Amino acid sequence: MDKHRKMYEKEFKLNAIRFYEESGKRLRDVEKELGIGSGCLSHWRKELRDDKGEVFRGNGKITEEQKKVYQLERENKILREECEILKKVVGMFSKPSR
Protein backbone atom coordinates (compact mmCIF):
# COMPACT_ATOMS: atom_id res chain seq x y z
CA MET A 1 0.00 0.00 0.00
CA ASP A 2 1.58 3.25 -1.17
CA LYS A 3 0.89 6.10 1.23
CA HIS A 4 1.09 9.60 -0.17
CA ARG A 5 1.92 12.17 2.48
CA LYS A 6 -0.43 15.13 2.32
CA MET A 7 1.23 18.54 2.39
CA TYR A 8 -0.38 21.57 3.98
CA GLU A 9 0.30 25.23 3.30
CA LYS A 10 1.79 27.42 6.02
CA GLU A 11 -1.35 29.56 6.17
CA PHE A 12 -3.56 26.49 6.64
CA LYS A 13 -1.41 25.30 9.54
CA LEU A 14 -1.49 28.69 11.24
CA ASN A 15 -5.26 28.97 10.76
CA ALA A 16 -5.78 25.45 12.11
CA ILE A 17 -3.78 26.26 15.24
CA ARG A 18 -5.69 29.50 15.72
CA PHE A 19 -9.01 27.71 15.20
CA TYR A 20 -8.11 25.06 17.80
CA GLU A 21 -6.99 27.61 20.37
CA GLU A 22 -10.10 29.78 19.94
CA SER A 23 -12.67 26.99 19.63
CA GLY A 24 -12.23 25.36 23.03
CA LYS A 25 -12.74 21.96 21.36
CA ARG A 26 -10.60 18.89 21.95
CA LEU A 27 -7.52 18.54 19.76
CA ARG A 28 -8.72 15.25 18.31
CA ASP A 29 -12.11 16.75 17.38
CA VAL A 30 -10.53 19.71 15.59
CA GLU A 31 -8.21 17.39 13.63
CA LYS A 32 -11.18 15.28 12.58
CA GLU A 33 -13.24 18.35 11.66
CA LEU A 34 -10.42 19.75 9.51
CA GLY A 35 -9.64 16.36 7.97
CA ILE A 36 -6.03 16.28 9.08
CA GLY A 37 -4.13 13.34 10.50
CA SER A 38 -4.04 12.45 14.14
CA GLY A 39 -1.19 14.27 15.86
CA CYS A 40 -0.64 16.82 13.10
CA LEU A 41 -2.06 19.73 15.03
CA SER A 42 -0.03 19.03 18.18
CA HIS A 43 3.09 18.66 16.02
CA TRP A 44 2.41 21.99 14.29
CA ARG A 45 1.83 23.71 17.64
CA LYS A 46 5.14 22.36 18.97
CA GLU A 47 6.94 23.46 15.81
CA LEU A 48 5.45 26.94 16.17
CA ARG A 49 6.44 27.11 19.85
CA ASP A 50 10.01 25.92 19.19
CA ASP A 51 10.44 28.13 16.14
CA LYS A 52 14.03 29.30 15.68
CA GLY A 53 13.58 31.05 12.37
CA GLU A 54 10.79 30.97 9.84
CA VAL A 55 8.12 28.51 10.90
CA PHE A 56 6.81 25.87 8.44
CA ARG A 57 9.43 26.44 5.74
CA GLY A 58 8.62 23.21 3.94
CA ASN A 59 10.80 20.44 2.55
CA GLY A 60 14.10 21.39 1.01
CA LYS A 61 13.75 25.10 1.74
CA ILE A 62 16.63 26.18 3.91
CA THR A 63 17.32 29.60 5.36
CA GLU A 64 20.25 31.77 4.38
CA GLU A 65 21.83 31.04 7.76
CA GLN A 66 21.57 27.27 7.14
CA LYS A 67 23.13 27.72 3.69
CA LYS A 68 26.04 29.62 5.22
CA VAL A 69 26.56 26.96 7.93
CA TYR A 70 26.52 24.21 5.28
CA GLN A 71 29.06 26.10 3.16
CA LEU A 72 31.36 26.71 6.15
CA GLU A 73 31.17 23.07 7.24
CA ARG A 74 32.07 21.98 3.73
CA GLU A 75 35.03 24.38 3.57
CA ASN A 76 36.15 23.20 7.01
CA LYS A 77 36.11 19.56 5.85
CA ILE A 78 38.19 20.40 2.77
CA LEU A 79 40.72 22.35 4.84
CA ARG A 80 41.06 19.49 7.33
CA GLU A 81 41.71 17.04 4.48
CA GLU A 82 44.32 19.37 2.98
CA CYS A 83 45.97 19.73 6.38
CA GLU A 84 46.20 15.92 6.77
CA ILE A 85 47.76 15.63 3.31
CA LEU A 86 50.34 18.31 4.16
CA LYS A 87 51.20 16.55 7.42
CA LYS A 88 51.85 13.33 5.52
CA VAL A 89 54.02 15.09 2.95
CA VAL A 90 56.07 16.83 5.64
CA GLY A 91 56.47 13.50 7.42
CA MET A 92 57.74 11.87 4.22
CA PHE A 93 60.36 14.56 3.58
CA SER A 94 61.50 14.87 7.18
CA LYS A 95 62.49 11.20 7.58
CA PRO A 96 66.26 10.71 7.66
CA SER A 97 67.55 8.73 4.70
CA ARG A 98 69.57 5.56 5.39
pLDDT digits (tens, 9 = 90+) for 20-39: 999 999 999 999 999 999 99
The domain ranges of the chain are 1-58, 62-98
Radius of gyration (C-alpha) of the chain in whole angstroms: 25
- Do 35 and 6 meet the contact criterion of CB atoms below 8 Å apart? no
- Do 44 and 13 meet the contact criterion of CB atoms below 8 Å apart? yes
Cα 30 to Cα 93: distance, rounded to the nearest angstrom: 72
Cα 88 to Cα 86: distance, rounded to the nearest angstrom: 5
Q: Residue 61 has what DSSP assignment?
A: -
The predicted pLDDT at position 77 comes to: 95
pLDDT, one tens digit per residue, over 34-57 is 999 999 999 999 888 887 656 776
In this prediction the pTM is 0.54
Cα 80 to Cα 87: distance, rounded to the nearest angstrom: 11
